C-alpha cells in the first residue's frame, strides 16, 4: 500500500574519497540528494549517519522527486561482498519502511543502476518500488536472451525503416511511377512482417498474443502485415502432463493423485498462454478441466510487457502516429487477467450461474 503513489528522484550513492585502509576500518557512504522543485534543481550533499537520519531528510522534502542510484562494484572496490550485501539489504528494508509512511506518499522512488550486469542479483531486490524503474529493469532482465533478441530485432528493423523511407524519397524525386512505389512498399511491409512473425513465433507467449491482436486489425493495417501475422493464430504450444506436473502440484499444495482420480496426459487444448487438461475430481467424481499457465510464461510476459512502452517510444520516433499505444494498454490489462487463473475461475462460475 502506498507504493503506487510514491514519486521519484532524490538519492544517489557517492563515495567519500578516503584511503582504502580507512574504508576497511570505518566504511561510510555519502548520499548526494538532488531535489527538484518548481523547475529548479538543488544539490544537497550530506553524509547521513543512518537510515533514520535519511528518512527525516526525505520527510522534510515532501513533494520532491527522489532517485536512488547505486554505484557499480568498481566504485566499491574497497568493500567486501558481505558489506555490499548488507548495505543493499539495509536499503531494501528502508524502502519497505518508507512505503508505510503517509507523509512520503507524495514522493516517489526510482532506481538507476550503474553497470547492473556486474550484480544481476541486485536487479529486482527492492520489491516495494515496483512499478518504478527498478521493477521494469527486473522484469526485462528476466527475459534474458529473449529481451536481447527482441531489442536487437526492433533496432535492426528501425534502421531498415529509415533506409526504406530514404529509398522511397529518392524514388519520388526521380519521378518513379505509383505502381513501382506501391510494389516496393508492399515488398518492404511483407519482409518486415515476416521478421516480426518469426520473432514472435520463436519467443511465444505474450508476443504470439500480440501478433494475434495485430493480425485482427484488418481495418487499420495493411494486408501484408495482418495476413503475415495471422500465422500467430495457428501457434499452439503445448507440453505433456509430465512436464507440468510439478507446477500443478505446487499450485494445488498437494499431489495430483490426492485431488484427481485421473488427468489426461495430453492437453485437451493449448494456446500461447496456457493449456487445459481433462480431469476428474477424487472427492465428487465430477469431470472438470484443469487450466495451467505454461511454465515460465509469466516471467517472459512481464519482460515483454515491460519492454513494450520503450519499444513503442522507439517506433514513435521513426513512424509517428502508429497507433500502438491503445493496443499496448489493452493487451497489458488483458494479459494480467489471463495470467490469474483464480480470476478466470471466478468469471466462469459467474457465467455458469447467470
| Helix-, strand-, coil-residue percentages of the chain, each rounded to 5 | 55, 15, 30
pLDDT for the residue numbered 151:
81
Which of helix, strand or coil describes residue 14?
Answer: strand
Give tens-digit pLDDT for 231-272: 988 766 778 888 888 878 877 778 888 889 999 988 888 877
- The stretch 267-290 carries a mean pLDDT of 86
Q: Which residues pair with 43 in a beta bridge?
A: 34
Residue whose entry in the numeric block shows the C-alpha cell 507440468: 244
Of 9-18, 122-131, 201-210, 314-323, which has the strongest mean pLDDT?
201-210
pLDDT for the residue numbered 311:
66
User: Within 13 A of 341's CA, how many CA atoms are on the CB side?
Assistant: 14
Of 59-63, 201-205, 294-298, which has the strongest mean pLDDT?
201-205
Distance CA(282)–CA(279), nearest Å, equals 9
324 or 258: which leads in pLDDT = 258
Distance CA(30)–CA(38), nearest Å, equals 26
Residues 6+ apart with CB under 8 A from 37: 63, 64
Nearest of 10, 141, 140 to residue 67 by alpha carbon: 10
- The stretch 279-299 carries a mean pLDDT of 84
Give the least confident one: 6-10, 34-38, 310-314, 328-332.
6-10
Q: Where do the H-state alpha helices sit in 204-296?
A: 206-215, 223-229, 241-252, 256-259
**DSSP states of 27-71:** ---EEEEEEEETTEEEEEEE--SSHHHHHHHHHTTTT-EEEEEE-
pLDDT for the residue numbered 150:
85
Distance CA(338)–CA(344), nearest Å, equals 7
pLDDT for the residue numbered 138:
58
DSSP structural state of residue 9: B
- Name the phi and psi angles at 172, rounded to 5: -65, -40
Predicted TM-score (pTM) of the model is 0.52
Evaluate if residue 190 carries a pLDDT over 70.
yes
Could you tell me what percent of the chain has a pLDDT over 90? Answer: 13
pLDDT for the residue numbered 240:
84
Whole-number average pLDDT of the chain:
64
Give the C-alpha distances (Å, rounded to integers) separating 131 from 66, 110, 200, 317.
15, 9, 25, 25
Evaluate if residue 194 carries a pLDDT over 70.
yes
Evaluate if residue 305 carries a pLDDT over 80.
no
308 grid coordinates: 513494450
Evaluate if residue 130 carries a pLDDT over 70.
no
Give the least confident one: 89-93, 152-156, 197-201, 343-347.
89-93
130 or 201: which leads in pLDDT = 201
pLDDT for the residue numbered 314:
63
DSSP structural state of residue 294: P
292 grid coordinates: 495451467
- The stretch 71-86 carries a mean pLDDT of 41
- The stretch 194-215 carries a mean pLDDT of 86
- Name the phi and psi angles at 182, rounded to 5: -65, -40
pLDDT band at 321 (very low <50, low <70, confident <90, very high): low
Distance CA(143)–CA(136), nearest Å, equals 11
pLDDT for the residue numbered 166:
92
pLDDT band at 167 (very low <50, low <70, confident <90, very high): very high
Evaluate if residue 78 carries a pLDDT over 70.
no
- Cβ atoms 209, 200 nearer than 8 A: no
pLDDT band at 13 (very low <50, low <70, confident <90, very high): very low
pLDDT for the residue numbered 310:
66
pLDDT for the residue numbered 186:
93
Of 13-17, 70-74, 147-151, 257-261, which has the strongest mean pLDDT?
257-261
pLDDT band at 188 (very low <50, low <70, confident <90, very high): very high
Give tens-digit pLDDT for 136-150: 555 566 667 888 888
Amino acid at each position: 500500500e502506498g507504493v503506487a503513489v510514491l514519486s521519484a528522484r532524490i538519492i544517489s550513492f557517492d563515495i567519500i574519497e578516503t584511503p582504502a585502509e580507512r574504508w576497511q576500518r570505518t566504511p561510510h557512504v555519502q548520499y548526494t540528494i538532488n531535489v527538484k522543485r518548481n523547475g529548479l534543481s538543488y544539490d544537497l550533499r550530506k553524509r547521513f549517519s543512518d537510515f533514520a537520519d535519511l528518512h527525516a531528510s526525505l520527510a522534510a522534502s515532501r513533494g520532491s522527486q527522489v532517485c536512488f542510484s547505486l554505484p557499480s562494484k568498481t566504485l566499491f572496490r574497497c568493500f567486501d561482498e558481505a558489506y555490499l550485501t548488507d548495505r543493499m539489504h539495509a536499503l531494501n528494508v528502508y524502502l519497505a519502511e518508507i512505503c508505510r509512511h503517509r507523509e512520503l506518499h507524495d514522493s516517489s522512488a526510482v532506481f538507476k543502476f550503474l553497470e547492473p550486469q556486474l550484480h544481476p542479483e541486485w536487479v529486482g531486490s527492492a520489491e516495494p518500488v515496483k512499478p518504478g524503474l527498478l521493477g521494469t529493469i527486473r522484469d526485462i532482465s528476466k527475459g534474458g536472451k529473449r529481451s536481447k533478441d527482441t531489442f536487437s530485432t526492433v533496432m535492426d528493423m528501425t534502421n531498415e525503416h529509415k533506409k526504406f523511407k530514404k529509398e522511397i524519397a529518392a524514388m519520388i524525386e526521380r519521378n518513379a511511377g505509383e505502381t513501382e512505389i506501391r510494389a516496393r512498399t508492399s515488398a518492404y511491409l511483407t519482409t518486415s512482417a515476416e521478421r516480426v512473425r518469426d520473432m514472435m513465433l520463436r519467443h511465444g507467449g505474450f508476443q504470439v498474443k500480440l501478433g494475434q491482436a495485430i493480425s485482427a486489425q484488418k481495418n487499420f493495417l495493411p494486408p501484408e502485415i495482418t495476413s503475415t501475422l495471422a500465422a500467430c493464430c495457428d501457434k499452439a504450444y503445448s507440453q505433456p502432463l509430465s512436464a507440468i506436473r510439478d507446477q500443478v502440484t505446487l499450485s494445488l499444495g498437494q499431489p495430483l493423485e490426492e485431488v484427481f482420480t485421473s488427468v489426461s496426459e495430453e492437453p485437451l487444448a493449448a494456446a500461447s498462454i496456457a493449456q487445459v487438461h481433462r480431469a476428474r475430481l477424487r472427492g465428487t467424481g465430477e469431470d472438470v478441466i484443469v487450466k495451467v499457465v505454461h511454465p515460465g510464461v509469466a516471467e517472459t510476459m512481464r519482460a515483454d510487457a515491460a519492454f513494450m512502452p520503450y519499444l513503442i517510444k522507439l517506433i514513435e520516433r521513426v513512424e509517428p502516429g502508429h497507433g500502438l499505444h491503445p493496443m499496448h494498454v489493452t493487451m497489458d490489462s488483458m494479459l494480467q487477467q489471463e495470467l490469474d487463473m483464480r480470476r478466470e475461475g471466478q468469471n466462469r462460475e459467474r457465467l455458469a450461474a447467470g
